[in-house]
Amino acid sequence: MGVEVCWDPAAKQPPAREAAFKSMTAATAGDKDGWLALFAPDACVEDPVGPSMFDEEGKGHHGRDGLSAFWDKTIGNVEKFEFVIRDSHAAGSEVANVGTITTFLPGGYRVDTDGVFVYRVNEDGLVVSMRAFWETERAMATARQV
C-alpha cells in the first residue's frame, strides 16, 4: 500500500509544486481559463513526452493557442479526474510528481495513467514547461467500463 502525498494549499510550498497542485485542481474543476492562466505565454506542454495520439510529431503544445487546443483535445473530454500523487520531488524551479491520474471518459470508461509529471516554473511562478512521462500502451491496457 502506497503513501499518498497530501498538500495543504495554505502551507508554503515550492512554487513548482504549488503550480502543479493548481493545475490538477483546475483540471478537476473543468476550469479551462483558470488552467491556461497558470502558464506563461510561451509555455510548452508535452503530455505525454514524444509522439502520441495527442501530438503526432512529439514536439509538444506551445503557447496559449497550442495549450488551448491541447485542453480541448484531452482535458476537456474527461468527465472526471482523480489524481493520486505518491511522491513529489521539488528542486530549484521544478517538481517531479510520481503518481496515477485516473480519467473517467464518456461512455462509462475509466483509464489509469501511471507516470512522472514534471513542472518547471519561471520567476513569477507561471508554468513554462510541463512534461508528462507515461506510456500510452500501459494506460490503454487499464481501460475498462465502470
The pLDDT assigned to 6 comes to 62
Task: Please tell me what DSSP assigns to residue 54.
Answer: S
- Contact (Cβ atoms closer than 8 angstroms) between residue 17 and residue 90: yes
* Contact in structure between 85 and 54 (CB atoms under 8 Å): no
What pTM was computed for the model? 0.92
| Alpha-helical runs (H) found in 30-125 | 32-37, 63-73
- Find out whether 53 and 136 touch, Cβ atoms under 8 Å: yes
Residue whose C-alpha cell is 515550492:
14
Regarding predicted confidence, which is higher, 7 or 141? 141
Report DSSP state, residue 36.
Answer: H
Rounded to whole angstroms, how far apart are CA atoms 46 and 132?
6
pLDDT of residue 12: 85
Q: Give CA–CA dist 84/65, Å, rounded.
A: 29
When the pLDDT of each residue in the chain is averaged and rounded to a whole number, the result is 94
